[in-house]
Amino acid sequence: MHQQILILDFGSQVTQLIARRLRELNVYCEIHPWNKVPSDLSAVKGVILSGSPFSVHQENAPLPDLSELYAQYPVLGICYGAQLMAIHNGGKVMRSTHREYGRAFLQEVSSHHPLMKGIAQQSQVWMSHGDTIESAGEEVEIICSTDQVSFAGYHFKGTQRMGVQFHPEVYHSLDGKQLLSNFVMDICGCEGDWTPGVFVDETVAMLKQTIGDQQVIMGLSGGVDSTVAAVLLHKAIGDRLHCIFVDNGLLRKDEFANVMKDYEDMGLNVKGVNASDVFYSALKGLTDPEAKRKAIGKTFIDVFDSESKKVLGATWLGQGTIYPDVIESVSVGGGPSQTIKSHHNVGGLPDYMKLKVVEPLRSLFKDEVRRVGASLGIKEQLLGRHPFPGPGLGIRILGEVTQEKVALLQNADAIFIQLLKDQNLYDSVWQAGTILLPVQSVGVMGDERTYEQAVALRAVTSTDGMTADWAELPFAFLSKVSNDIINQVRGINRVVYDISSKPPATIEWE
């Protein structure tokens, strides 16, 4: 068993980023709800307590007895976790006079302390809390502060328990990865032996054991996630994997034909299914984003139910679900994390569909998926593709989805993406796409008045998709994109650029 860090989730939306940072250090970790600590802790080397949307003073706040974990393992509390540990030690946590959110700068950093090794004085950190630790009880050493927070970091003397009020897992905490490395490597003694190659070997072995000689149907989308998942399954069971690539009418321009060729070149056993009309019928009259997502998801399942009956003996459905999909749709393991939006490939299957689900990538973040794909020998042109939402252009058309709107958006989006590639900007952007807005605007073309559609361009930079900044694309580039779309796509006379970051916005508009 791999050395493991146990992350207890108290409901923070960035709990998964803790895991993301530890995976960068090649340290295996698992997130579990605070109220569902695993019974087998034999591989655990340390424990991290996450932040939370709760205040420790709320009536329903999670306040578990962690004395057994405190006695056995090094423990790092982050934000709410640090406050919880302070209370457990007889300390005092009070409401802040003002909510502390955003950048702060460390001072009085105790460089002698192993947690603070390599952390610079005045290092930028990220605060997000409404309560402040006024005291942490007896035998406490403060190891860093800020001008607003005395207990920015502390350590219980004579123990391996320590807490930080800031969030080292977010990128705004510039030395956060160093701090987490100090904890898991130096304090917990992890060796960092969990690599993409190890993941492939262990996952293939697990798939062979789990699936045995049974048949698997795998839904392919053309994206990185489903491609890597399919190659893992194919490596484990060969042609007993039956891939199905559904044309839902919501793909990018020419994507169905191009991706089918890529998959055939890879030797995958793949069948293309044109179900565009079925999806358009299911979406007719729908304007609510969640209603559209659910309609697309249900139709996807219905199509697969029909196709699965054509594969004799099929008992499994493979999916390319990854960790952020799970986090944003349901709580990790039933924990308290808040739901942001539903994902079409998360949450199980209806009773009438007699297939079990296998998700080889469910524990991985997007960058990990790409590294695993590279270790499998998948071509960079496939691994480097931008993420594309499962519901496709159905959630990039605001309002009702029609075949005519899809064609309009496909043409505009193709221009945007191709120009990104032509001007060597594609790889510097995490995700890009075009959104068809539910408005028309007045324009002048050829001395004539027009009243046509508007589109928004969206491009973001990110490392994990959980947080994202809008990409600062050159003005000259944006000008050319706008000019080419308006000149080449009849029906569009206005182009705007989205400069919203995540949070508060999401990457997709719906």
**Residues with active-site annotation:** 79, 167, 169
Q: Are 307 and 348 contacting, i.e. CB atoms less than 8 angstroms apart? A: no
Provide long-range contacts, Cβ within 8 A and 24+ apart, for 151-154.
151/82, 151/86, 152/104, 152/106, 152/125, 153/106, 153/115, 153/116, 154/82, 154/86
Angle (deg, nearest 10), helices 196-211 and 366-375? 80
Q: Are 225 and 320 contacting, i.e. CB atoms less than 8 angstroms apart? A: yes
Q: Are 20 and 466 contacting, i.e. CB atoms less than 8 angstroms apart? A: yes
In DSSP notation, 364-399 reads --HHHHHHHHHHTT--HHHHTSPP--TTGGGGTB-S
- List % helix, strand, coil for the chain (3-state, nearest 5): 35, 25, 40
Tokens linked to 12: 């923070």
Residue type at 18 in one-letter notation: I
Q: Which residues contact 309 (CB under 8 A, 6 or more apart)?
A: none
Q: Which helix (H) or strand (E) holds 469?
A: strand 469-470
Half-sphere exposure of residue 36: CA atoms within 13 angstroms, side-chain side: 12
Q: Which residues contact 457 (CB under 8 A, 6 or more apart)?
A: 416, 432, 434, 435, 478, 481, 495, 496, 497, 498
Task: Return the CA Rg of the chain.
Answer: 25
Q: Are 81 and 46 contacting, i.e. CB atoms less than 8 angstroms apart? A: no
Burial of 117 from C-beta contacts in 10 A (0-12 / 13-18 / 19+): middle
Q: Are 89 and 48 contacting, i.e. CB atoms less than 8 angstroms apart? A: no
Burial of 121 from C-beta contacts in 10 A (0-12 / 13-18 / 19+): exposed
Distance CA 29, CA 26 (A): 9
